Amino acid sequence: MTSMDLLNKMKQAVRGGILTREPLAGHTTWRIGGPADFYVSPKDLEDLRSVIDFSRQEGLRCFVIGRGSNLLVSDEGFRGIVLDLSEAFRHTAASGLRVTAGSGLLLGDLVDFCIRKRLKGIEKLAGIPGCVGGAIRMNAGAFGVEVADRLEWVRLVDFSGTLLQIHREQILMKYRFTDLPADAVIIEAEFRMERGDAGELARTREETLKKRREKQPLSLPSAGSVFKRPAGDYAGRLIEETGLKGLRIGDAMISKKHANFIVNCGFATAVDVLRLVEEVQERVHRMFQVDLELEIQLLGFDPS
């Protein structure tokens, strides 16, 4: 079947928007990444299940993208369907201390919603530029608070199209890790908050954003921390000690402001970033015998 035939067939099965050969650089905060064969924005849950059914029938791989803020996409892009839930899955609802949110909602919008409702618990996550689904998958956290602390349950669809609800106690959540099934699409989640004071919560959010502006190179595209924190230390400190701050390969540079950030100074490629990653890992290992593990997720690097 030609790709045009496949597209026509997909259009019959799916109601949401379908883009072909869509450059993923436009969907990642690093502004790096080649094209996805198909970039699909399902209209609702039924439509999402139709895309999943279609991908299974046609033997196409699926990948769900959030805001692409923890993602390095290869320069060749992704052969398959990238699912984007940011159009349809962005609802919020509060009932007492419980808040339900769609996975495509920006985490920052959820923080604002909770503050408006005088609900305390996630205001220190302000400034993390992901969406709710990506924040759950990564167990995003900052300033001593993690998504895991507030999560009650997640609802997801697996790649057989089955809808599941999984409670927090059944999910292993550690530092930047969740053991949810790799092929599952999170569609919504519930969080449990505490009662708070709107003024105080807003102040905490502003202080948090200020600290981020002071410490992080926010004027250039990045994916936040590239490496996980090694036990008992900070990746940024180790990298700084190796003297690699400011090292540049192509247009990718180890930030002079925060050594665990790699910034895109213009037209960096995924290969530039990976070469810097290797250089950092090698030097840190040589100097400290510490193996830095990637926090960022990779897409499109496997040979198939």
Ligand X SMILES: Cc1cc2nc3c(=O)[nH]c(=O)nc-3n(C[C@H](O)[C@H](O)[C@H](O)COP(=O)(O)OP(=O)(O)OC[C@H]3O[C@@H](n4cnc5c(N)ncnc54)[C@H](O)[C@@H]3O)c2cc1C
- Tokens 């139709």, residue located: 50
Find the part of the chain contacting ligand X (CB under 6 A) among 1-9, 132-140, 264-272, 279-287: 132-140
Binding of ligand X at residue 173 (CB under 6 A)?
Answer: no
Single residue of 99, 114, 186, 193 touching ligand X by CB under 6 A: 186
Binding of ligand X at residue 70 (CB under 6 A)?
Answer: yes
| 176 is known as an active-site residue | yes
The DSSP result for 65-87, as a single string, is ESSSTTEEE-TT-EEEEEEE-TT
Single residue of 35, 108, 134, 236 touching ligand X by CB under 6 A: 134
Find the part of the chain contacting ligand X (CB under 6 A) among 136-144, 200-208, 234-242, 264-272: 136-144
Per annotation, catalytic residue among 155, 225, 255, 283:
225
Please identify, using beta-carbon distances, which residue of 262 and 283 lies nearer to ligand X.
262
Binding of ligand X at residue 255 (CB under 6 A)?
Answer: no
Please identify, using beta-carbon distances, which residue of 134 and 196 lies nearer to ligand X.
134
Strand duo 71-73 + 297-299: pairing = parallel
Binding of ligand X at residue 129 (CB under 6 A)?
Answer: yes
What number of other Cβ atoms are within 10 A of residue 243's Cβ?
11
**Structural contact between residues 115 and 94, judged by C-beta atoms closer than 8 angstroms:** no
Residue 271: partners with Cβ closer than 8 Å, 6 or more residues away: 75, 250
d(CA 69, CA 19): 21
| 295 is known as an active-site residue | yes
**Structural contact between residues 47 and 15, judged by C-beta atoms closer than 8 angstroms:** yes
Nearest distance from residue 99's CB to ligand X, in Å? 17
Single residue of 65, 82, 189, 247 touching ligand X by CB under 6 A: 65
List residues bridging with 294 in a β-sheet.
227
Find the part of the chain contacting ligand X (CB under 6 A) among 34-42, 68-76, 203-211, 272-280: 68-76
Single residue of 122, 201, 223, 254 touching ligand X by CB under 6 A: 223
At residue 15, the 3 state secondary structure works out as: coil
Q: For the window 84-123, what string marks contact with ligand X as x by the rule CB under 6 A?
A: -x-----------------x--------------------
At residue 31, the 3 state secondary structure works out as: coil
List residues bridging with 39 in a β-sheet.
19, 82
Main-chain dihedrals φ then ψ at residue 299, nearest 5 degrees: -135, 130
Single residue of 31, 120, 137, 258 touching ligand X by CB under 6 A: 137
**Structural contact between residues 264 and 224, judged by C-beta atoms closer than 8 angstroms:** no
Q: How far is CA 28 from the centre of its chain?
A: 9
| 168 is known as an active-site residue | no
d(CA 159, CA 291): 33
Find the part of the chain contacting ligand X (CB under 6 A) among 32-40, 45-53, 138-146, 267-275: 138-146
Binding of ligand X at residue 229 (CB under 6 A)?
Answer: no
Rounded to 10 deg, the angle between the 3-13 and 45-58 helix axes is: 150
Nearest distance from residue 202's CB to ligand X, in Å? 19
Report, as residue numbers or ranges, the catalytic residues: 176, 225, 295
Q: Which residues bind ligand X (CB under 6 A)?
A: 29, 63-71, 85, 103, 128-131, 133-135, 137-138, 140-142, 185-186, 216, 218, 222-224, 297
